[in-house]
Structures are given as structure tokens and as C-alpha cells.
Structure 1
């Protein structure tokens, strides 16, 4: 299982360089950026983070497709992938419907929109010429001049049963939200495996699953976590998030790995006092404890 840092939209964009460089230097596996309305650009953030680092795998969690044209999205993802081969992970989703309404792009059927975008983007990244006349996506003989040598993994996010099933069917992996109980994570992974088994997917026995947890450490960790959870529509006392030392966080990561999570993301609280030190804590104290299990 890979371990990474999630840079939430509560952190201003100008902080990204220092955080990405610290994550790269200390040996974290991944860094994930967001495209949350109406904050940072996921494409700009991911490209900058890749340019500032040498080894990090950088992912976007996630691009809301109602804001985008699939041809433009494929062009952007292909460009990033060609510039930084093997280190980029794309993520898409149907977005938060209230925010999509604010932007004037709310779809009557978010799942149909996501299905059409995912299908078009995957085909374009594979170098195909694509013509589509769908409910939302209309393309006329579109082909990328510079498709990626190897398409980046296309992760699809969503929490509802239909969104999870669509992601399992069309994506290279599922992205889960950051405020789930253990039982919810287990149930979602079981649902993903059921879909992949039904369609005969090659990775049905071990799908790619990206899941994040909100984590706080230090003497006031539990109080800070309890203050953070309502910001993500979650309540304290339900076992959501992690508060504690390196052993506590590593135990949570190992538990997620036992459920089938392949990419474990750690999201700091909005009031984390020292983000660079927090990243060092993950890389230098938590990661070795995860790696030492079974060795």
C-alpha cells in the first residue's frame, strides 16, 4: 500500500511548493491535490507539484466534469502525462451538485454526464479518434495529436452506490471520500469487487482503491479532529478520522490496507500548526511502521 499526503483546499495554493518538496525529500509515495469549487485548479496544482519534485506520484482528487469539456480534459491529462511519465494519476467525478449549480453547469443526470466523460476521456487518452453524440458529450472526429505514451490511471470518485458502481466499471480505480467509518470503507470495497467480478475485470480480486483519512497528531489531536469533522459533514464519536501518535496512524493505515485500500491518503486538519513537520512525521515515523509489518 502506498501512503501519501492530501493537500485539501483549505490550504492556500502558494503553500504547495514547500509541501510538495518536503513530501518528495522525505520519501512519501504520493501527493494528492484537489479541484474544489471555487478554490485551486487541480491541473495547475498537479503540474506544478510534478515540476517541483522528482519521485512523488501526484494525483488529482478530483476534476468535476460538469465544469469541463472532455476533449480539453484529455488534452490536459495527456500533456501532463507526457511531461512526467509514470508519476501522474488523474481523477474525475461528477462534482458537488450545489456548486455545479452555482457555476451554471448542473446536469439533470450527473451519472450520465460522468459516464459519457469517462468514456470519451479514456478513448482519447488511448489515442483513438472519437465521435460521440451523447446526451451531454458531442465530439466529431476528435483525436489527440499528442496522446500519452501510456495513459495515466483514470480514477473516478463518488460515494453513492451508483457512482461507486460506475467508477468500478469504467475507471482504473475508485476514489473514496475522506470521512467514512471502517464499515463504510469495507462495504464500498465489497461493492467495487462485486461490480468488477460481474464484468470480468482483470483486477477484480484486488482493485485499485484510493481512500483518505483526516489525521491529527500532537497533544490536542482529538480536540482538533473533533473540530474538523463537521467541516466534512461528519460527526465526532463515530470512529471517523485518526487522532494520535505515529503508531496510532500506522495502525489505521494497516487496517485500511487489510480492507483492500491500495493508496492511503492522509489529510491534515485545517488548523494543523506545522504542515511541513506533519509531512515529515508521516514519512519518517508513520511510513516505516507500516513497512515493518510482516518483515
Structure 2
């Protein structure tokens, strides 16, 4: 079983180093750092973490081929593979159209552009099974002059069925954001459908169950931390994902009104249990039970994402000292 943490790139360097070292001590296998625009630079953060950790694998989740050319993404990945001693993981996706618009960047043909970026990145980074050539917009001498010592695994971040199927055809792994976590069964099937189309073995693709979690010694504080996350992002979720939890966009109207009129704390208090089910929170026993249900659906990699808890350090400790051992105690 593989366990990973996902954190946002709004964390300061000292906090992130502390979290990475805690995660490594607790036995987590991977740490992924987001690269959202106008926050801290994930490649720089991961460079620091490379020097401050020894075993845990380090991933950027995600880079996009619109704000940075895939050749430069591959350069970064190859260098990070060297700096980490072969522990680097590269996440690619189309990125948020809204975030890219903040920088005045358009996002045409997201599925095609992401597929091209994945193929190009894997070709440049040493993959031995790349199907197809570099996109035509590459020149004839397109190759890394300092290639990585070992191929860099390339993951696709996505939620839509078409993006997940593309990941199954082309990528080493996929980071499907799951709202609710139980959407994993459908997401996994979509990835494997793409793998089957490309005549790839399911064993070739890492498919983490990527969900939001919030844990703390105080279950109510943990609940409110997740509620705040859902109050802010919930109304923007794809309707077909919300239906998995018995929800519709209209259900968030009072939450959105409170957010706009009274602020995030007021909005969070209007998030009900159905909305909270979009992530995982509650007692350690309840978190473990939701995780076990994902294993029963076929998950071999559980990926715990923000908010993690009202205190991220405490949350990583609770996950590492209570949740992971409880999961390990019951054979899969």
C-alpha cells in the first residue's frame, strides 16, 4: 500500500520542511506540492525539500503546458531527478482556466494540449514506451542535453472522464481529485478503460485515491476546517461529481450567499453532512473506515490532501501515528 500527502504551495518554507520531515518519519511514501499561480514556486520549494529529506518521493502537482513550455518543464524535472537522487515525480495537467486568466493566459484545447505535453515530457525524460513522436511544434534537435539518470514518472491531474482515459493511455500515473472519495471506483474504471485501449497493463499506472481530509484531536475543529474548504470550492465542483454525494449546485446557494455577505466562517457553518461527505473528516475511526472502503474498491494508493486539519503539523502526526498504523493493522 502506498500513502502520500498533498499540500498547497501557500505554506512557508520552514513549515513545509517540517511537514516533509514529519511525513518521512511517519512512513509516508510521497509528498506532492501544488504549483498554483501567484503563490510560492513549487520547483523551488521541492529543491529545498530535496536537501532536507532522504527517502520520501517528491512531486509537483501540477505544472501546466500553457504558462511554462514543456521543454522547460522537462528540464526542471530532469534536474530535480538529479537533485533528489531519483525521487522526483512530475504532475502535468491543463490547469485552471480561471487561474491562468489571472495571468492573461488562454487555455485552448486542454485535452489535446495536455496529451501532447505528457507524451513530450515522457519522451524527453527517458520513458521507454512512449507512443507517438514529439508534437510537430518541436524542432528536429529536441532532446535534453543532460537527461535524467532514470526516467521521471509523469502523472496527469484531472477529473473529467476524457482526461482520465487519456492518462490511462499515456501516463505513468494519474492524480484524480475525488469529490466524494467514493468516486474512486468510477475514476479508476475510466483510467483503466484508457489503458485497455492502449493495450497497457493496469500495473503500469499508479492510480491514487486523492481526497480531502481533515483530522485533529478535536473532531469539531477538524470538521470546520474541512467545511471551510468545501464552502469555498464546493459550488465550483462539476455537477456530475456533486450528484455522487446527492448534491446539486443549487444546494450551495445559502453557503455562497453567506460567503459573500458574512465571510468564510459563517459560510463554513452552513456546510451540512452531505457536503462534508465530499471529503473525509471525523474521528480517527471514521477516517480509517472511509479509507478502508477505498481499499475495498481497489485503491492501492491513498493520497491525503488539504486542508489535512486545522493544524497541519498535528494533522500529519495524527495521520502518521494513528490512521496509517490502523490501516496497516488490517490485511487488505
Q: With the length of structure 1 as denominator, give the TM-score of the two structures.
A: 0.88
The offset of 1:152, in angstroms, is 1.7
Question: Match of 2:11, SS?
Answer: coil
Question: Match of 1:141, SS?
Answer: coil
Cα deviation code 1:96-128 (max 9, x no counterpart):
012222223323211221122111111111189
User: Equivalent residue for 1:200?
Assistant: 199
Among 279, 289, 296, the residue aligned to 1:241: 279
Please tell me whether the aligned partners of residues 4 and 266 of structure 1 are also in contact (alpha carbons under 8 angstroms).
yes
Say if 1:145 and 1:191 are closer, same or farther in 2 by CA, change over 3 A. same
The offset of 1:77, in angstroms, is 0.5
Say if 1:175 and 1:268 are closer, same or farther in 2 by CA, change over 3 A. closer
Say if 1:124 and 1:246 are closer, same or farther in 2 by CA, change over 3 A. same
Among 174, 195, 207, the residue aligned to 1:209: 207
Say if 1:120 and 1:192 are closer, same or farther in 2 by CA, change over 3 A. same
The offset of 1:132, in angstroms, is 4.7
Say if 1:262 and 1:10 are closer, same or farther in 2 by CA, change over 3 A. farther
> Unaligned regions of 5+ residues in structure 1, if any?
none
Name the count of aligned residue pairs. 289
Cα deviation code 1:46-85 (max 9, x no counterpart):
2222221111111111112211111111111011112223
Please tell me whether the aligned partners of residues 26 and 284 of structure 1 are also in contact (alpha carbons under 8 angstroms).
yes
Which stretch shifts more, 11-20 or 183-192? 11-20
The offset of 1:24, in angstroms, is 1.7
Compare CA radii of gyration and give the structure with the larger one.
Answer: 2
Equivalence map 1:78-93=2 (5 Å) = 78-93=78-93
Q: Which has the higher strand share?
A: 1
Question: Match of 1:37, SS?
Answer: coil
Are positions 1:287 and 2:320 aligned together? no
The offset of 1:250, in angstroms, is 2.0
The offset of 1:282, in angstroms, is 1.0
Give, in whole Å, the separation in 2 of the partners of 1:219 and 1:194: 39
Please tell me whether the aligned partners of residues 209 and 260 of structure 1 are also in contact (alpha carbons under 8 angstroms).
no
Q: Which has the higher helix share?
A: 2
Equivalence map 1:267-286=2 (5 Å) = 267-269=305-307, 272-286=309-323
> Unaligned regions of 5+ residues in structure 2, if any?
238-251, 253-271
The offset of 1:87, in angstroms, is 1.8
User: Equivalent residue for 1:251?
Assistant: 289
Superposed CA RMSD: 2.4
